[in-house]
Structure 1
């Protein structure tokens, strides 16, 4: 199977010329800054002397004796440069301030108050660099935008999924809420923070004035679950988990196949007509119980039974031959099936990168935003801890003696 390979040099992406100081860790912050890096921004990841905690998270290649980082870190820190700085030292803080003075964006996802205690609060940094855009992503937002009663609570993906309403409408039945598989409680806020940062940078380039961009993970999950707000507001109904069905559309969800599951999404009556013909039952089109979406919603169980009588005796591949291109359809893929599907190969969504410490190359997900004139891409693997410390500091104006003194003092690694 062929896959794309990370290139040696960073191409001139759409964000070339933008410098980002990345003070993030775990998933939400690094995912945000990685998107910027994928599209050409120079992202300098500031790590403590022991590194981002996710460096210790696997999985690792079997032959990796170095173990500087594993799959988790590799997947959300590509295209970045790393410097290792002790923020508990005055010299280390001076290094970070000097880098921020030369930057367009700084991003952090510490708990509320941490940057203030370090002397790196937004109010201080904007005095240092008036055009700076400062981005923060936290579980419940920053008090500057509205002081949540939970502002001091630590939060991760499962917390924002729970409190943002997502788990409350996900699960096999009304009594069983369920976590969404991927960390969307982190990655969706990361995407929204990207939008805010880029809008603010555009504004700063017009006016010379930066601004504070605040994203709460819980807010973003709620925004993504928009239907629970209008359903409750319009009808007074509190939505609950619906299993693999949709409360407002039918058929719309998952259906058993002989070798797994497949999704079918009939969003309007035209697709219902196509589906009825595809399963060899055109008489369903004129049946009053199924002729409209509203009627089908009222007879959901019967619709499901009719469709599964057809799908459950056929493989996913056979169903693709039957439904593909006619109605919205997709087999429920395992990762192995994703690796084998030509779509992801031609779309450059499986990318080979070097794994330090291993003789094997590894695969990570590619860049989903395709730009015609200034394409983004995976240009370099995730950085080793402090791999670019000297390079970044020399470019910032430090000479070799100054860097050596900083290292001897323990301020950098």
Structure 2
């Protein structure tokens, strides 16, 4: 069993019933849990699909919590219910009675078929916020022609526009490495749910909160919209540089790569002086912000020849703190960087069957109500009895639900 410290944080008075799975929805509810919300993850008897996907350490003798699940389900509780049974449906409705929000990311219509749609649940709790995250949204807020289509991260990245401006050259769209087609919608869902809870507490009125993964990706790709409208452009991938700021991008080092954002005159002068090419600001091709943009491909080549002479460490010593600069770091370098230690951005959690593992920390820092990783992800159904008692179910009803879970499929 995990040692669960008392809930603290800015959201310690909020209770969330979490029906999400995979990455997008759980990432949003993780953010709420990190800041103290009481997040009760309701799982089917087989558990969230990510429970089964690992990965696990080789010496893990139990294999009950994989790294993926640990990372995005920390700070949550787990209740195991079969929502295809009357007992499971009744138990979920009981959990909803005093909840601030229920959050799900099933395909449209799934919970309606189980008798657990928004219109049913709001009759149980008028102040309930119902958060839904789907690939293309819900018809309640705008019926997409793709509303029945399934979607994952790569689909949202492709259709929302971010892949269309990411890649090594104009002809090669490239997926962004981390699952931003999942995590960004998850963040927006967390924000939407909090905004709706604020409204519900002020007015007594709950509501339906709808986030489409594709919409969220387009929203953070906002530049392509106004470039097309204002400039008549259809933006394409620009490699590792900016379409109109220069120098603003990635440059080679002797042992890897660095990034520089020195498009302003003052920064550009410092950069050239430190790299040993102090003549460049006086060059008529690069003498102003606009000229550097116009001649950016030539300037990128000249600066790359200079940066390639030095190691990342040497460039950090020369440029760090003087201009916007950062080395391209892998996770081994990140773990050795004192910044991330000072910011508590890599934390340890208990790992049943092995020694503690490291996961990403909480990026939103607060002075009075700091969020934190309080405990590991829950075992499947670890809090079922506790939470069903909290919801007012009788011991007989709880025993029946536990028996149903124990029955073979």
Q: Is 1:293 matched up with 2:286?
A: no
Other structure's SS at 1:261 match: strand
Gaps of 5+ in 2: none
The answer to whether the 8 Å contact 2:18/2:40 transfers is yes
1:200 aligned residue: 196
Alignment of 1:249 onto 2:245: yes
Residue 169 of structure 1 contacts residue 177 of structure 1 at CA under 8 Å; is this kept in 2? yes
Match of 1:331 in 2: 327
Output the CA distance in 2 between the equivalents of 1:187 and 1:180.
12
Deviating beyond 6 angstroms after TM superposition, the runs of 4 or more aligned structure 1 residues are none
Determine helix, strand or coil for the equivalent of 2:140: helix
How far is 1:33 from its partner?
A: 0.3
Task: Report if the CA contact (8 A) 2:11-2:32 is conserved.
Answer: yes
Assess if the C-alpha contact under 8 Å between 1:254 and 1:262 holds in 2: yes
CA shift digits 1:359-398 (9 cap, x unpaired) = x110000000001100110001000100111111122222
Residue by residue over 1:47-83, the C-alpha shift from the partner in whole angstroms, topping out at 9 and shown as x without a partner, is 0000000011121011223222211111100000001
What TM-score results when the alignment is normalised by the length of structure 2? 0.97
Deviates more, 1:392-401 or 1:29-38: 392-401
Aligned counterpart, 1:372: 367
**Deviations 1:105-162, CA, capped at 9 Å, x for gaps:** 1000000011111111111111110000110111100111111011111000000000
Contact 2:7 2:38 (C-alpha < 8 Å) held by counterparts: no
* Number of residue equivalences: 407
Question: CA–CA distance in 1 between the matches of 2:325 and 2:96?
Answer: 48
Picking from 14, 19, 40, the partner of 2:15 is 19
TM-score by length of 1: 0.96
Moved more, 131-140 or 298-307: 298-307
The answer to whether the aligner puts 1:232 opposite 2:228 as a matched pair is yes
8 A Cα contact 2:77 2:382, kept in partner: yes
Match of 2:384 in 1: 389
Structure 2 counterpart of 1:164: 160
Instruction: Write out aligned runs for 1:207-356 (5 A).
Output: 207-356=203-352
Question: How many Å separate the matches in 2 of 1:405 and 1:370?
Answer: 43
Matched, 1:407 2:407: no
Measured after TM superposition, the shift of residue 412 of structure 1 is: 9.4
1:96 — aligned with what? 92
Pair 1:181 & 2:177 matched: yes
SS at match of 2:279: helix
Task: For 1:199 and 1:92, locate their aligned partners in 2 and report how far apart those are by CA, in whole Å.
Answer: 29
Structure 1 range deviating more: 303-312 or 373-382: 303-312
Cα deviation code 1:272-331 (max 9, x no counterpart) = 122122223333222221111221122122211221122111111110011101111100
What secondary structure sits across from 1:367 in the alignment? coil
C-alpha displacement at 1:7, in angstroms? 7.9
Q: Which aligned pairs between 1:26-105 and structure 2 lie closer than 5 A?
A: 26-105=22-101
Distance in 2 separating the partners of 1:76 and 1:287: 51
Query: Contact 1:28–1:186 at 8 Å: present in 2 too?
Result: yes
CA-CA distance at 1:402 after TM superposition: 2.8
* In structure 2, distance between residues paired with 1:293 and 1:57: 50
Q: Is the 8 A contact 1:92 1:412 kept in 2?
A: no
Matching residue of 2:102: 106
SS in 2 for 1:34: helix
Identify the residue that residue 3 of structure 1 maps to in structure 2.
Answer: none
Q: Supply the distance in 2 between the matched residues of 1:223 and 1:292 (Cα, whole angstroms).
A: 31
Shift of 1:411: 8.7
